[in-house]
């Protein structure tokens, strides 16, 4: 859920935003799949976040489908600032939902996972920390940094990723993307790709012909969508 940007953002139109996210959450529960309630922001909005997650956790906390992402991508905030914010939001969620997973972002667009690894949130369970990559921009250095965080005991969830540049545009780098896929599979890391949209950008996987009800055919998918579906069908198997 977009928090700040655009005329329909949560800050400007909270009821509209909640109606949209409610529809997605209810659809996921009915379909028996996981759903991430993502506070999609680049800035700290503590008061608004606490109110939102108090309402969401009270409404949906009883369902095992729910995962909370309390701060999608901190950019220039320090880890102590992000940590203090997350601790406040976690308290609000845990009053209603004692055990569903909560995802925590890290500074520099979820790149600096070494920082929470050195100073993780204490006294809470079922927390994970997010790392984001765009394969045409982010290379082995980010994987190595994440490996170090994992070795230090940090539970990592890849809550945003794709094969193009970090801008969401530019050509797909299939070789670099496959390197990331292999790396994630070897470490049994959960990963999500960005994004299910029909905007004019490489990362939006749908063409304008794609219907909102789903059941998309190959001709409804852009190049990135075709590749994502291939990856999901290949790797989303029970082992």
Q: What is the pLDDT of residues 21-58, one digit of tens each?
A: 999 999 999 999 999 999 999 899 999 999 999 999 99
| 91-108 pLDDT per residue, tens | 999 999 999 999 999 999
Average pLDDT over residues 157-164: 97
Q: Which of 95, 23, 17 is nearest to 54 (CA)?
A: 95
* Residue 154 belongs to some domain of the structure: yes
The domain that holds 31 is classified in CATH as 3.20.20.80
Predicted confidence (pLDDT) at residue 157 exceeds the cutoff of 60: yes
Contacting residues for 73 by C-beta, under 8 A, at least 6 apart = 40, 41, 42, 105, 109, 110, 132, 160
Q: What is the pLDDT of residue 239?
A: 54
Contacting residues for 167 by C-beta, under 8 A, at least 6 apart = 134
* Residue 231 belongs to some domain of the structure: no
Q: What separation, in Å, do the N-terminal and C-terminal C-alpha atoms of the chain show? A: 33
* Residue 8 belongs to some domain of the structure: no
**How far is 130 from 154, CA to CA, in rounded Å?**
10
Average pLDDT over residues 204-210: 97
Percent of the chain scoring above 90 in pLDDT: 95
Containing structural domain, residue 91 = 14-198
Give the other-Cβ count within 10 Å of 43's Cβ.
Answer: 12
Indicate the number of domains in the chain.
Answer: 1
* Residue 220 belongs to some domain of the structure: no
* Residue 162 belongs to some domain of the structure: yes
* Residue 91 belongs to some domain of the structure: yes
Q: What is the pLDDT of residue 237?
A: 75
DSSP characters over 44-76: --HHHHHHHHHHHHHHHTT-TTEEEES-S---S
* Residue 163 belongs to some domain of the structure: yes
**How far is 82 from 120, CA to CA, in rounded Å?**
11
Contacting residues for 80 by C-beta, under 8 A, at least 6 apart = 119
What are the residue numbers of the active site?
73, 160
**How far is 67 from 35, CA to CA, in rounded Å?**
6
Predicted confidence (pLDDT) at residue 238 exceeds the cutoff of 80: no
Range with lowest mean pLDDT among 6-15, 96-105, 155-164, 180-189: 6-15
Q: What is the pLDDT of residue 213?
A: 85
* Residue 77 belongs to some domain of the structure: yes
């Amino acid at each position: 859920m977009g928090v700040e940007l655009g005329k329909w953002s949560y800050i400007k139109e909270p009821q509209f935003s909640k109606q949209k996210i409610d529809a997605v959450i209810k659809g996921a529960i009915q379909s028996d799949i996981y759903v991430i309630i993502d506070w999609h922001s680049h800035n700290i909005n503590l008061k608004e976040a606490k109110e939102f997650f108090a309402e969401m956790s009270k409404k949906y906390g009883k369902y095992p489908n729910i995962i909370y992402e309390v701060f999608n991508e901190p950019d220039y905030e320090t880890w102590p600032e992000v940590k203090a914010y997350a601790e406040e939001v976690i308290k609000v969620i845990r009053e209603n939902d004692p055990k569903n997973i909560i995802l925590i972002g890290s500074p520099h667009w979820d790149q600096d996972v070494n920082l929470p690894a050195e100073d993780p949130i204490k006294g809470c369970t079922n927390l994970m920390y997010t790392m984001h990559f765009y394969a045409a921009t982010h290379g082995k250095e980010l994987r190595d940094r994440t490996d170090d965080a994992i070795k230090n005991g940090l539970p990592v969830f890849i809550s945003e990723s794709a094969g193009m540049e970090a801008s969401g545009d530019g050509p797909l780098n299939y070789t670099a993307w496959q390197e990331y896929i292999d790396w994630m599979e070897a470490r049994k890391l959960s990963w999500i790709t960005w994004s299910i949209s029909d905007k004019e950008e490489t990362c939006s996987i749908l063409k304008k012909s794609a219907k909102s009800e789903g059941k998309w055919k190959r001709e409804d998918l852009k190049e990135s969508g075709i590749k994502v579906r291939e990856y999901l069908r290949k790797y989303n198997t029970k082992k």
